[in-house]
Amino acid sequence: MNSVLKYYNWLCRSNKKLVFLSSLFWLMTCAPSLDQSTLDMVSQLQFLQCSAGQATACRTKASLSIVSIEPQDKAIQVSVDVSIRISFSEKILSESITMQSSSGACTQSIQLGDSGFENCVGLNLISNTDQTITVKPIASLDINRIYKVKVKSTVFSVSGLKLATDYVHETGFQTAVIGDSTPPITGGTLSFSGVTATGLTVNWPVSVDNATEAANLQYKLVKDDTSISNINTIALANSKSGTDLILDWTNNVLSQSVGSLSASTNYSFTVLVRDSSGNISQYTPAAQTTSAVPDTTAPTTGTAISFNSVLPTKITVQWGAGTDAITLASGLEYKLVKDNVSSSNINTIALANAKIGSDLLMDWSANVLSKTATGLVASTTYHFAVLIRDAAGNMNLYSPSSQMTAVPDVIAPLFLGVTAVNDAGTGSLTILWTQGTDLVSAQADLVYEICYSTTIGVCTGGFTANGGTTSAGVSGWIITGLIDGTYYVVVRCKDESGNISTGLVEMSGITSGCPGPASCS
């Protein structure tokens, strides 16, 4: 090792650069037994000292780099007789440039092959001038085919620098299709998915072409913030740049996400498709409006919970209408819950919203501001809470409030009894009365029981509601299924606590239109 270094220092001091250069190449190619550190030291340090004319100078080690390759990566319509020009950061040592003389396995330092470099074409070195080498395929390339250029890290500059790693075209270039002037046929219309306030995804069907395979068709996506008319021709769309150029020419892609958009804004999009010959078609432009800014603000509750019609077994709960920054009042929903033990069991949104069964008095209902809780126990305290929800699902809670039901109702309604029994025809009678009154139950909540018989005094002596129980709050009823004859009728009133009026009044009426013996109903 020391003798090698002394020899190369002598070459430097003697300014014998050509001798040094040939010796260095011999070391790199013919002396594999020398370790890499020795080669690096000789090629990177000693020769650089010689080039600078200073035996004690030392330049920091660097890597050779590729400045450009023509044809460029992703180029299309490239001539089948193209010359390949590779520009480096420094002039290349000619002896390190190797190429295969015919098509076959890829083994040399400069390669032109398929995407996987399983097969490479034969190349000729045309020139190595300044910092650019030019090579040309021995035979014309295939039409409508993708080729990639690879430069191996075994290529050296005249100063001894080499590539850090192999350089490979990312996509490659595509040769021309001879005589193709027909543009691709677009596959359909644009569609949109994943629309948010700041972004969306544009989708389009695959196109087809008479000469270019679908996998080699290229697509370009552009937008306009103002109008479809700004991108409704191929020329207008193809001229888009900057933030309006969403996706530049890319092979076989059928969707693209678009970000950095504004909320509640209409954007226009179009897609161009290009075949290997450069023929272009355009998808019909389409517009899409982004979503509004997400609503994350809960509604404001209205006036506090209050109670009305407090009875032994039911209470009417009411509350004021809430408001919301986005959802209209008519669209706000309310939920009423109760707890039989403590308001602390419903004093958070989570606790109140978890209530089910008999404690869920009213599930989510729009624009409802009162609800009657029934089936309660007299003289018992109940705790109530109301939730409010907007269209975005944001919730708020009215402060829980408590109320005791009324004492038990043991007083019967005041009722004067039946006032008329009229023939209704076809074996039926119409029974009329004046509605009763009660100290606790409203008239609308009172029901009536009816008894009838063909024998006088039966209903006053042993009342049975064989005529049925009416719905609440009525002042008349029809009995059907009778046959012609005289009937004696008694009506009594019952409140919500089950108290029944006293003082039974009996009245008679005669049916007609159904001679019997079977009923006519």
Residue keyed to tokens 């308001």: 343
How far apart are the C-alpha atoms of 370 and 399, rounded to whole Å?
Answer: 15
Q: How far is CA 148 from CA 64, 143, 249, 268, 427, in A?
A: 20, 14, 18, 36, 101
**Residues 146/119, Cβ–Cβ less than 8 Å:** no
Looking at 39-98, which runs of residues are DSSP E strands? 66-70, 84-88
Strand, helix or coil at 44?
helix
DSSP string, 183-221: PPBP-S--EEES--SS-EEEE-PPPB-SSS-GGG-EEEE
Q: Dig out the tokens for 139 from the structure.
A: 């035979």
pLDDT tens track, the chain, 521 positions: 444 444 445 444 444 444 444 455 445 444 444 444 444 444 444 444 444 444 333 344 478 999 999 999 999 888 888 999 999 999 999 899 999 999 999 999 999 998 889 999 999 999 998 899 999 999 888 888 899 999 999 998 998 899 999 999 999 999 886 678 899 999 899 999 999 999 999 999 999 999 899 999 999 999 999 999 999 999 999 999 999 999 999 999 999 999 999 999 999 999 999 998 899 999 999 999 999 888 899 999 999 999 998 999 999 999 999 999 999 999 999 999 999 999 999 999 999 999 999 999 999 999 999 999 999 999 999 999 999 999 999 999 999 999 999 999 999 999 999 999 999 999 999 999 999 999 989 999 999 999 999 999 999 999 999 999 999 999 999 999 999 999 999 999 999 889 999 989 999 999 998 988 887 76
How far apart are the C-alpha atoms of 452 and 82, rounded to whole Å?
Answer: 112
Environment class of 15 (CB within 10 Å of its CB; exposed 0-12, middle 13-18, buried 19+): exposed
Q: Report the largest interatomic distance among the alpha carbons of the chain, rounded to a whole angstrom.
A: 150
Q: What angle do CA 362, 296, 265 make, to 5 degrees?
A: 120
How far apart are the C-alpha atoms of 42 and 23, rounded to whole Å?
Answer: 10
What pTM did the predictor assign?
0.44
What is the phi-psi region of residue 262: left when phi exceeds 0, alpha when psi lies from -120 to 50, beta otherwise? beta
Q: Dig out the tokens for 506 from the structure.
A: 């009996």
Domains and CATH numbers, the chain: 2-52 (no CATH), 66-174 (2.60.40.1220), 191-289 (2.60.40.10), 306-404 (2.60.40.10), 418-511 (2.60.40.10)
Handedness of CA 4, 10, 13, 15 (dihedral sign): negative
How far apart are the C-alpha atoms of 301 and 323, rounded to whole Å?
Answer: 7
A 10 A CB-CB count for 387 gives 22
CA dihedral of 222, 225, 226, 229, whole degrees rounded to 10: 10
How far apart are the C-alpha atoms of 116 and 114, rounded to whole Å?
Answer: 6
Closest CA relative to residue 212, chosen from 144, 153, 273: 144
How far apart are the C-alpha atoms of 75 and 68, rounded to whole Å?
Answer: 13
**Residues 497/409, Cβ–Cβ less than 8 Å:** yes
Neighbour-count burial for 218-244, b at 16+ CB within 10 Å, e otherwise:
bbbbbbbeeebebbeeeebbbebeeeb
